[in-house]
């Protein structure tokens, strides 16, 4: 599928996406990611063939939001000058 999930496996926490440590959001994100992954695995084991692809797509979307946020923070200094 991609580097986030494949046949019989999921990347979770920092293995799926790592944020800048300065954002101080990595631990909460890793715990949320573990809880979400458990639900996705349960759905997949019950035969839901979309569960893993949806998970991968949500991770990509969350990482895109993080990158946009990070860009905004880094621009604060640029705009202030």
Ligand X SMILES: Cc1cc2nc3c(=O)[nH]c(=O)nc-3n(C[C@H](O)[C@H](O)[C@H](O)COP(=O)(O)OP(=O)(O)OC[C@H]3O[C@@H](n4cnc5c(N)ncnc54)[C@H](O)[C@@H]3O)c2cc1C
Number of H helices, E strands in the chain: 2, 2
Kindly give, in sequence order, each residue whose CB lies less than 8 Å from that of residue 44, ignoring residues fewer than 6 positions away.
51, 52
User: Per rule CB under 6 A, is residue 68 in the interface with ligand X?
Assistant: no
User: Per rule CB under 6 A, is residue 27 in the interface with ligand X?
Assistant: yes
Residue 40 contacts residue 52 (beta carbons within 8 Å)? yes
User: Per rule CB under 6 A, is residue 67 in the interface with ligand X?
Assistant: no
Q: Considering the complex, state which of residue 2 and residue 23 has its C-beta at the smaller distance from ligand X.
A: 23
User: Per rule CB under 6 A, is residue 44 in the interface with ligand X?
Assistant: no
Which residue ranges make up the site for ligand X (CB under 6 A)? 13-14, 21, 24-28, 30
């Amino acid at each position: 599928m991609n580097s986030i999930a494949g046949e019989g496996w999921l990347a979770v926490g920092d293995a799926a996406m790592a944020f800048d440590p300065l954002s101080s959001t990595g631990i909460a994100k890793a715990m949320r990611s573990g809880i979400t992954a458990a639900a996705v695995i349960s759905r997949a084991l019950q035969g839901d063939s979309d569960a893993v692809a949806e998970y991968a797509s949500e991770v990509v979307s969350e990482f895109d939001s993080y990158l946009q946020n990070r860009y905004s923070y880094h621009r604060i200094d640029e705009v202030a000058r």
